[in-house]
Amino acid sequence: MSFETLGLIQPLLDAVREAGYSAPTPIQAQAIPAVLSGGDLLAGAQTGTGKTAGFTLPLLHQLAQKLGPNPPARRPVRALILTPTRELAAQVEESVRIYSKYLPIKSMVIFGGVGMNPQIDALRRGVDVLVATPGRLLDHHQQGTVDLSQVEYFVLDEADRMLDMGFIHDIRRVLAIVPPKKQSLLFSATFSDEIKALAERLLNKPQIIEVARRNATADTIAQRVFPVDRDRKKDLLTHLIKTHDWHQVLVFTRMKHGANRLAEFLNKQDITAMAIHGNKSQSARTRALSEFKSGELQVLVATDIAARGIDIDQLPHVVNYELPNVPEDYVHRIGRTGRAGAEGEAISLVCIDEEGFLADIEKMIKRSLPRETIAGFEPDPHAKPEPIQIGRRVLHGGLSGRQGSGRSSNGSANGSGNAPHDGQGGRRNSSHHNPAGKKPAGGAHPRRRQGAGSNSKPRAARP
Ligand code: AMP
């Protein structure tokens, strides 16, 4: 299939050719005709599949046809794209710019952490496509500096992440502001019950499309587990980086303060490192990212949310300094390495507290990961697992704490994550084939989050 056969207008085809794309990706081949047909869309696709062009190209096509070749100078926002993070918002808007380069279409991005006034000025000058994070968009709405009354196209990008980050109320507020009659597109990597509920509320008889998850555990990625005691992880990481002279190492921690502490520690060991997470200013994040990409910065320490949507991949080394309690996050993390045939290595430093998380991950990826003990860092065979604190939640990620009926510290039954697995990450099981939403027969209900004991969600700060 070619982009030409999808019926896109010539200025878009020219821009796509210049971007170097020879053929649409599977999500594009499905999403572009679906959006061009004018109906709503529920799409299951994650970063790396080409989803951004999947919704941007048909939106621009329709907008260009509406606006004609010489639109008036000041025009209301007609397309609104919401994203969970600043980085993703910036990237999506950059894509809009690239694809609309031969069209008289104006786009802009708004997110928090930077001054309001330049955004207000730009909004006043007229914008066709607005890409925004929810919090700052609502700030502008409250101040009367953005008019959303003419929105005809509405996109929720990475909707599952938005919900994970606690944006459901903000999304509802935005939905109450935009006109009810519009074309809505919802993109999500997963179809949880909450996504289905949101889809039911937002979408009108949507077409449902889903592309296979990126096979991030492809053979090009060497995955290894280094068992180590919890308080020796930072020394082991230092040892690995120094003895192998690793550069461009992306290191994942669970929490922001853990990312900061680790970056500080590495710097003291003469390893250049920076932490990147939602509490950092936009300029600090941008600087960290560009220095990392250029190779000046040896190590970038990131939380899952901060790393999401950032355009850094094909890295030689990804290190799980702490295993994620959500198995899907493991797949997202290691997908940063070894893509497109490039060689990559994903290493997990696993202490006894996390053996249960590892078991969840191995079930999901349907393979067991090789363990290698590094001389001088052998774990204490008598060590006992300790609970892991994530925000206000206390998770039991160790294997022994999860046997039996398993309760997390906030008292929920089976909170330790040893619910029956389907080998697919559980909650995608039934929804995979039934994304619009009926509960599967027999009462089985996909778990909301398959990780150990993660039965409540922290509300993150606005990005
Ligand atoms: P996305 O999933 O939208 O974040 O896109 C992932 C990457 O794929 C981006 O770097 C795009 O520039 C690239 N991309 C998107 N569409 C295509 C295509 N049809 N052919 C090759 N690369 C693409």
- Cα 241 from Cα 262, distance rounded (Å): 13
Q: Is 397 in the pocket of ligand 1 (CB under 6 A)?
A: no
pLDDT recorded at residue 244: 92
Report the separation in Å between the CA atom of 25 and the middle of ligand 1, taken as the mean of its atom positions.
Answer: 8
Instruction: Tell me 460's DSSP state.
Output: P
Cβ atoms of 27 and 211 within 8 Å: the answer is yes
Q: Is 46 in the pocket of ligand 1 (CB under 6 A)?
A: no
| Domain spans of the chain, in order of start | 3-210, 221-431
Cβ atoms of 266 and 253 within 8 Å: the answer is no
Sign of CA dihedral 289, 290, 293, 298: negative
Q: What is the CATH number of domain 3-210?
A: 3.40.50.300
Cβ atoms of 426 and 369 within 8 Å: the answer is no
DSSP secondary structure of 375-422: TT-PPPTT-----EEETTEEE--SSGGGSTT-B-TT--BTTTS-SPP-
Q: Is 327 in the pocket of ligand 1 (CB under 6 A)?
A: no
Nearest CA, atom 12, ligand 1: 50
Q: Is 56 in the pocket of ligand 1 (CB under 6 A)?
A: no
Cβ atoms of 241 and 271 within 8 Å: the answer is yes
Nearest CA, atom 1, ligand 1: 50
- Cα 11 from Cα 14, distance rounded (Å): 5
Mutate to test the pocket of ligand 1, among 25, 311, 312 (most ligand atoms within 8 A of CB): 25
Report the separation in Å between the CA atom of 338 and the middle of ligand 1, taken as the mean of its atom positions.
Answer: 16
Nearest CA, atom 5, ligand 1: 50
Q: Is 25 in the pocket of ligand 1 (CB under 6 A)?
A: yes
Rounded to two decimals, the pTM is 0.58
pLDDT under 70 in the chain at which residues?
212-220, 278, 308-311, 313, 338-343, 391-392, 400-463
Q: Is 47 in the pocket of ligand 1 (CB under 6 A)?
A: yes
Q: Is 48 in the pocket of ligand 1 (CB under 6 A)?
A: yes
pLDDT recorded at residue 414: 32
Mutate to test the pocket of ligand 1, among 21, 55, 99 (most ligand atoms within 8 A of CB): 21
- Cα 195 from Cα 74, distance rounded (Å): 36
- Cα 318 from Cα 339, distance rounded (Å): 12
Q: Looking at ligand 1, which atom is closest to the CA of residue 95?
A: 12
CB atoms within 10 A of CB 283: 10
Report the separation in Å between the CA atom of 211 and the middle of ligand 1, taken as the mean of its atom positions.
Answer: 14
Report the separation in Å between the CA atom of 243 and the middle of ligand 1, taken as the mean of its atom positions.
Answer: 35
> What is the rounded radius of gyration, in angstroms, for the C-alpha atoms of the chain?
23
Nearest CA, atom 6, ligand 1: 48
pLDDT recorded at residue 394: 76
Q: What fold is seen in the domain 221-431?
A: Rossmann fold (3.40.50)
Report the separation in Å between the CA atom of 11 and the middle of ligand 1, taken as the mean of its atom positions.
Answer: 18
Instruction: Tell me 352's DSSP state.
Output: G
Q: Looking at ligand 1, which atom is closest to the CA of residue 21?
A: 20
Q: In sequence order, what are the beta bridge partners of 80?
A: 130, 154
Q: Is 335 in the pocket of ligand 1 (CB under 6 A)?
A: no
Identical fold, 3-210 and 221-431: yes
pLDDT recorded at residue 120: 95
Q: Is 51 in the pocket of ligand 1 (CB under 6 A)?
A: yes
For 123, residues 6+ apart whose C-beta sits below 8 A from its C-beta are: 108, 110, 130, 140, 145, 146
pLDDT recorded at residue 261: 95
Cβ atoms of 384 and 352 within 8 Å: the answer is yes
